[in-house]
Amino acid sequence: MNKSNELKDALPSGTSSRDAVLAFLLLRGWLAVRAILAGLEKFGAYVTVQQPLIDPATGLADPNAVVDVKVKYYALANYNGIPASLKVKFANEPLLPHFALTAFNNLLGPALILTGVMLLLGLGTRISLFLQGLIYIALTVGLSLIGQNDGIAWLGIHVALVAMALMLAQHNRHVLIRKW
């Protein structure tokens, strides 16, 4: 059996190789953007600023009235891999060593951004997918330990999408490095 027939046999009936390429590109794009944005959010924070109230009748700022407005901004100083509310729960979990929590907190954001960019550009697509799957499994372990079942379900969906993308990786096109 030649390579062309093997690929056709692996696809659901009625699916062309071109459809599989498009399906993989969609999965690759979604997983890449999801990882990049999740990683960038680790650098986000809110600051409250005071702004003058805008008079709806005139559209002008009222100098006598001020409102507090929360503004989001991103900075390296804001980095927090694990939300503060969960850090306390993780710190009290005896099955999670402190060094592992510290390492995971420091590496989570950069790892998500790196694997997302690799996937988006097509640099080691299979490796970046596999690494993302491992990240989601590690997150699942942590959330399981602290009983965050809703988050576990969402991570399960992410792992399934990564697995589906790995199954379609043979249809990977538009990459910088095809081998991995």
Cα–Cα distance measured from residue 126 to residue 54, given in angstroms and rounded to the nearest whole number: 52
128-161 confidence digits (pLDDT tens): 999 999 999 999 999 999 988 889 999 999 999 9
| Residue 2 vs residue 52, higher pLDDT | 52
Q: Return the domain boundaries, the chain.
A: 3-42+79-171, 44-78
At position 8, the amino acid (one-letter code) is K
Which DSSP category does 92 fall into? T
29 SS3 class: helix
Predicted structure pTM score:
0.81
CA gyration radius, the chain: 22
Cα–Cα distance measured from residue 19 to residue 37, given in angstroms and rounded to the nearest whole number: 27
41-73 confidence digits (pLDDT tens): 999 999 999 888 887 777 788 777 888 889 999
75-109 confidence digits (pLDDT tens): 999 999 998 888 888 888 888 888 889 999 999 99
